[in-house]
Chain A
Amino acid sequence: MAKKRVVSAVINGEPTDFLCEPRQTLLEVLRDVLDFTGTKEGCSNGNCGACTVRLNGRIVDSCLVLAVECDGAEIETIEGMAGPDALHPLQQAFLEGAALQCGICTPGFLVAAKALLEENPNPTEQQIRFFLAGNLCRCTGYDKIVRAVQACAAAASEH
């Protein structure tokens, strides 16, 4: 077993030091070392998007990132999405639009959809579907997820 390394990163705005083995993925460290269990594991090989987080602003499958690569990085997880008093508008839109059933895919979709709307505040349905194609949902058939993202974008553009 290789020696553990110290990694310093900023997670959801908080400077965080943690110890990890070189073989541990960011997903494993988030969940098992740092207790950020909102990031989910559905496949551990980059196919389902349940483990989606932002790494220096980009969305990544955290199961495909080694934690030791994250030294100096900025990481955003689902736990950093809501403010202390209010949910993020996307979270609210998911709730009001019933865009979740079992909810296991929801954190990954929310993190990815937030990145989409920052990049493209007024996406078409096709653009939403294309952008979110890396996130699998087995429950909803995607209809209400796409509509929740549309609703959130529409509400934001009204303001």
Chain B
Amino acid sequence: MATVEKQRQRKYRVLGTRPVRHDGVDKVTGRARYGADTHLPGMLYAAMLRSPHAHARIVSIDTSAAEAMPGVHAVVTREDFPDVSNRIVELGEGAVNLGHLSQNVMARNKVLYKGHAVAAVAADSIHIAREAAQRIRVEYEILPPVLDVLEAMSDDAPVLNEDVRTEEFGGGTGDRPTNVAKHFHYEKGDVEAGFARAAVIVEREFRTATVHQGYIEPHAATALWNPDGHVTIWTCTQGSFTARQQTAELLGLPVSRVRVIPTEIGGGFGGKISVYLEPVAALLAKKSGRPVKLVMDRSEVLEGTGPTPGSYIRVKMGADRDGRITAAEAYLAYEAGAFPGSPINPGCMCIFACYDVPNGRIDGYDVCVNKPRTNAYRAPGATNAAFAAETVIDEICEQLGMDPLEFRLKNAAVEGTRRIDGVTYSRIGMKETVEAILNSEHYRSELKGPNRGRGVASGFWFNVGLKSTVVATVNPDGTVSLVEGSTDIGGTRTSVAMQLAETLGIAAEDVQPLVADTDSVGYTDVTGGSRVTFSTGIAAIEAAKDIQRQMCERAALIWDCPVDQVRYEDGRVVGPDGQAFTFKELAALVPSTGEPIVGRGTSGKANQGGAFATEVVDVEVDPDTGKVQILRFTVAQDAGCAVHPSYVEGQMQGGVVQGIGWALNEEYIYDDQGRMLNNTFLDYRIPTCYDVPMIDTIIVEVPDPNHPYGVRGVGEVPIVPPPAAIANAIYRAVGVRMDRLPMSPPRVLEKILQSRAAAPAQ
């Protein structure tokens, strides 16, 4: 059973309870409208033509046969896109090179991966659109692809982007075209002296495969282009404002001319921040004069969006006899895909972030390869890094004969610890998550049986703050309508509404949350970085305080007393001489006593303190097939303050199972020409419910001092430890150290056979 570590002292009335989510009924009845559910009068259906080659120059595109087909209304290609310079713009969660973004949305001179968009057609039906797309003639000059991160770094590798030069950390750029877009470098202390002091040093190399976010809802966008130049777009995006900005920039329009209406969103995990379809649908709508809907199929999702980088990582770590880390060093090379921008920097900053490392050095490289342009995936960059570091730690513990959790306790980062990249922590809960697992029934239980093993690992993710807006209106029936800009992927309408309710002292059910479009609410950054419950929550608290202030003023008016004699307390407005209104009583008087009461809240100053998780897993390995079965899994995570514990557990469980998929099955398989061989959900196999057990959760609550109620984002960090925890469990089960993801049956079996061959004859 999912457990909350210790019974919360009921400090709060609403926070920590488990109300039914406000959008729940819509979602269990099929009424909620997702991206592909948009339907407009006169709407056309569109389809894309995508590159069959991983790397080629486009010599010519002939659209005449497609245009001549009955039922076809518009065709767009590179000719229709304005040339946007290589401007770098901040898009909420990281800076983006607009030229590259535009080329990714529609190929210009070259295609850089199989699945790269080349043209799009709008027609009366999806079938006509698809047929017409196939009639577009594209002449390609095929170029050799490069698919491996280390090969792509070599001097004689084919270069993808002529405009890319290596940017050195802290200034300076290379002088020739290259696939190595960026080099990051962090250093702390005296690394050589640290290693010299070590009693044990372990150095290992690791590889991880390209994997996809795997949201069940494919990307979808519907656009309407009015003759007055106003564009409206319905899309399943993680951030309507970033979708607006990207679309406007790529089309050369002012942002005010683009209105983005976010639909419900069927999962994103970081993969629905970049635009793919929105600008294309808009141009088709402009050309045809009709609304146009453009939806991807699953293969397009796998081949044209996401994924998260494959990587090469080398880690060296030393510890003294007592098990204190003396030095650590890492080299990380991440595949950016077609254009620069892998999460290499977060990977570098996360790799040793759980520990107090006195001497450290980290080098990271962002490398282009002929795969889809990578995108964020739940704690982007951290899972690859943790797989390497946490496996090396396990080997050090083995050599020291030390319990891996004791080692983690001894070296855990705490408040005041300075990371290798220079950041000093505020109050964090790394240690507490380790203690929670150490004390768990799971870790204390005995694991019996052959070929079974138990592994542990920890993980870190930053969590971001960024900007949000909330507007809240008091209704005469004593409820509050809350308007926010954060798209709701996993219950954030409710976690935000609960914070407003807590602040006003009313019931969660008395708040009615609504996600509004870009013309209806103030600027709000993406739903990502585990930020919504934290940052949109702060905006909701601010809006509630604004309501409190106005309610006090109103009561003072009614009681005819100075406002400083009125205060808001426990859901009541209290005045002199024992006079008081409940929230509901005063709300009912609002219409007859003055202006409407509307609270306004924004956030953007606060940064989050970071999230940690420690996880333990029991596995059984079939020594004849290499198949790994997960027997039991427990995750302990610092949630700061679990606003809605069920949805906190849900994030932990969902993140863990994604991590299990990453660990055991998921991978892009390519032929030598860069064609993905497993572009369906049958062959790109994410975990089913038959593959996993119940996921036990332990919520740890170390309040984040940056949030009024101590909330920490919970969405991302649970995905970080599983691959390492499972690798460590496999070692305990069958004695082989896994250094490659996924740890699929053939790979595990290969290691088992190698170890048998190497073992001395009995």
> A residues touching B (Cβ–Cβ < 8 Å)?
1, 21, 23, 28, 31-32, 35-48, 50, 77-79, 81-82, 87, 91, 94-98, 100-107, 110, 125, 128-130, 132-147
Q: How far is the CA of A31 from the CA of B657 in the complex (A)?
A: 30
Number of residues on chain B facing chain A (CB within 8 A): 61
- Give the distance to chain A from B111, nearest Cβ to Cβ, in Å: 24
* B217 and A102 form a contact (CB under 8 A): yes
Interface stretch among B6-14, B420-428, B551-559, B648-656? B648-656
Q: List, in ascending order, chain A residues with CB within 8 A of B656's CB.
A: 141
Known: A23-B127, A97-B646. A105 touches B689 (CB 8 A): no
Known: A136-B688, A141-B654. A110 touches B28 (CB 8 A): yes
Q: Offer 27 A-B interface pairs, CB within 8 angstroms, sorted by A.
A: A31-B36, A32-B39, A37-B30, A42-B298, A43-B297, A47-B298, A48-B298, A82-B28, A82-B29, A87-B28, A100-B24, A100-B27, A101-B651, A101-B654, A102-B265, A102-B268, A105-B216, A106-B27, A129-B690, A136-B216, A136-B686, A137-B689, A138-B269, A140-B654, A141-B653, A141-B654, A141-B657
Q: List, in ascending order, chain A residues with CB within 8 A of B65's CB.
A: none
* B127 and A21 form a contact (CB under 8 A): yes
- Give the distance to chain A from B94, nearest Cβ to Cβ, in Å: 23
Q: List, in ascending order, chain B residues with CB within 8 A of A96's CB.
A: 20
* A101 and B491 form a contact (CB under 8 A): yes
- Give the distance to chain B from A15, nearest Cβ to Cβ, in Å: 21
Q: List, in ascending order, chain A residues with CB within 8 A of B491's CB.
A: 98, 101
Cβ of B18 within 8 Å of any chain A Cβ, yes or no, is: yes
Which residue of chain B is the closest to A132 with respect to CB atoms?
A: B689
* A139 and B267 form a contact (CB under 8 A): yes
Interchain residue pairs A-B with the least CB separation, the first 4: A38-B30, A104-B266, A141-B657, A103-B27
Q: List, in ascending order, chain B residues with CB within 8 A of A79's CB.
A: 29-30
Cβ of B694 within 8 Å of any chain A Cβ, yes or no, is: yes
Q: List, in ascending order, chain A residues with CB within 8 A of B34's CB.
A: 37, 40, 104
Which residue of chain B is the closest to A108 with respect to CB atoms?
A: B216
* B647 and A101 form a contact (CB under 8 A): yes
Q: List, in ascending order, chain B residues with CB within 8 A of A44's CB.
A: 297-298
Which residue of chain A is the closest to B267 with respect to CB atoms?
A: A102
* A37 and B33 form a contact (CB under 8 A): yes
* B25 and A138 form a contact (CB under 8 A): no
Q: How far is the CA of A137 from the CA of B695 in the complex (A)?
A: 15
Q: List, in ascending order, chain B residues with CB within 8 A of A46's CB.
A: 682
Q: How far is the CA of A35 from the CA of B656 in the complex (A)?
A: 36
* B695 and A95 form a contact (CB under 8 A): no
Q: List, in ascending order, chain A residues with CB within 8 A of B265's CB.
A: 102
- Give the distance to chain A from B410, nearest Cβ to Cβ, in Å: 31
Cβ of B91 within 8 Å of any chain A Cβ, yes or no, is: no
- Give the distance to chain A from B302, nearest Cβ to Cβ, in Å: 10
Given contacts A98-B647, A129-B690, A138-B215, 14 further A-B contacts (CB under 8 A): A39-B30, A42-B298, A42-B681, A43-B680, A102-B216, A110-B28, A132-B690, A136-B681, A138-B213, A138-B216, A138-B267, A139-B490, A141-B656, A142-B688
Q: How far is the CA of A128 from the CA of B703 in the complex (A)?
A: 38
- Give the distance to chain B from A146, nearest Cβ to Cβ, in Å: 6
Partner pick for A95 among B25, B653, B657, CB 8 A cutoff: B25
* A42 and B29 form a contact (CB under 8 A): no
Which residue of chain A is the closest to B269 with respect to CB atoms?
A: A138
Which residue of chain A is the closest to B29 with respect to CB atoms?
A: A82
Partner pick for A129 among B30, B39, B689, CB 8 A cutoff: B689
* B266 and A103 form a contact (CB under 8 A): yes
For window 120-145 of B, CB contacts with A under 8 Å fall at 126-128
> B residues touching A (Cβ–Cβ < 8 Å)?
2, 18, 20-21, 23-25, 27-34, 36-37, 39, 126-128, 213-218, 264-269, 297-298, 489-491, 644, 646-647, 649-651, 653-658, 680-682, 686-690, 692, 694-695
Q: How far is the CA of A39 from the CA of B217 in the complex (A)?
A: 12
Known: A138-B658, A138-B686. A101 touches B680 (CB 8 A): no
Q: How far is the CA of A91 from the CA of B20 in the complex (A)?
A: 12
- Give the distance to chain A from B681, nearest Cβ to Cβ, in Å: 4
Q: How far is the CA of A151 from the CA of B28 in the complex (A)?
A: 16
Which residue of chain B is the closest to A46 with respect to CB atoms?
A: B682
Q: List, in ascending order, chain B residues with CB within 8 A of A138's CB.
A: 213-216, 267, 269, 654, 658, 686
Q: How far is the CA of A38 from the CA of B39 in the complex (A)?
A: 13
* B694 and A137 form a contact (CB under 8 A): no
* A133 and B680 form a contact (CB under 8 A): no
Known: A47-B682, A94-B28. A101 touches B489 (CB 8 A): yes
* B216 and A48 form a contact (CB under 8 A): yes
Which residue of chain B is the closest to A93 with respect to CB atoms?
A: B28
Q: List, in ascending order, chain B residues with CB within 8 A of A132's CB.
A: 688-690
* A43 and B25 form a contact (CB under 8 A): no
Known: A95-B28, A101-B654, A144-B653. A43 touches B214 (CB 8 A): no
Q: How far is the CA of A107 from the CA of B25 in the complex (A)?
A: 11
Q: List, in ascending order, chain B residues with CB within 8 A of A142's CB.
A: 653, 657, 687-689, 692
* B28 and A102 form a contact (CB under 8 A): no
Which residue of chain B is the closest to A36 with respect to CB atoms?
A: B30
* B689 and A146 form a contact (CB under 8 A): yes
Q: List, in ascending order, chain B residues with CB within 8 A of A130's CB.
A: 690
* B682 and A133 form a contact (CB under 8 A): no
Partner pick for B30 among A21, A42, A78, A146, CB 8 A cutoff: A78
- Give the distance to chain B from A117, nearest Cβ to Cβ, in Å: 15
* A141 and B490 form a contact (CB under 8 A): no
* A45 and B216 form a contact (CB under 8 A): no
Interface centre among A81, A129, A134 (most CB of B within 10 A): A129
* A137 and B216 form a contact (CB under 8 A): yes
Q: List, in ascending order, chain A residues with CB within 8 A of B647's CB.
A: 98, 101
Q: List, in ascending order, chain A residues with CB within 8 A of B689's CB.
A: 128-129, 132-133, 135, 137, 142, 145-146
Which residue of chain A is the closest to B298 with respect to CB atoms?
A: A43
* B690 and A98 form a contact (CB under 8 A): no
- Give the distance to chain A from B489, nearest Cβ to Cβ, in Å: 5
Q: How far is the CA of A140 from the CA of B690 in the complex (A)?
A: 14
* A106 and B217 form a contact (CB under 8 A): no
Q: List, in ascending order, chain A residues with CB within 8 A of B214's CB.
A: 138
Which residue of chain B is the closest to A90 with respect to CB atoms?
A: B28
Q: List, in ascending order, chain B residues with CB within 8 A of A81's CB.
A: 29-30
Known: A138-B686, A141-B692. A100 touches B28 (CB 8 A): yes
* A141 and B216 form a contact (CB under 8 A): no
Q: How far is the CA of A28 from the CA of B267 in the complex (A)?
A: 22
Which residue of chain A is the closest to B45 with respect to CB atoms?
A: A32
Which residue of chain A is the closest to B18 with respect to CB atoms?
A: A98
Q: List, in ascending order, chain B residues with CB within 8 A of A41's CB.
A: 36, 218
* B489 and A102 form a contact (CB under 8 A): yes
Q: How far is the CA of A141 from the CA of B689 in the complex (A)?
A: 7
Which residue of chain A is the closest to B26 with respect to CB atoms?
A: A103
- Give the distance to chain A from B372, nearest Cβ to Cβ, in Å: 18
* B2 and A103 form a contact (CB under 8 A): no
Which residue of chain B is the closest to A105 with respect to CB atoms?
A: B216
- Give the distance to chain A from B41, nearest Cβ to Cβ, in Å: 13
Partner pick for B29 among A47, A91, A145, CB 8 A cutoff: A91
Q: How far is the CA of A41 from the CA of B690 in the complex (A)?
A: 22
Interface centre among A23, A39, A102 (most CB of B within 10 A): A102
- Give the distance to chain A from B332, nearest Cβ to Cβ, in Å: 26
* A47 and B681 form a contact (CB under 8 A): yes
Partner pick for B217 among A1, A47, A104, CB 8 A cutoff: A104
- Give the distance to chain B from A71, nearest Cβ to Cβ, in Å: 21
Known: A35-B39, A142-B692. A104 touches B28 (CB 8 A): no
Q: How far is the CA of A159 from the CA of B216 in the complex (A)?
A: 36
Q: How far is the CA of A44 from the CA of B298 in the complex (A)?
A: 8
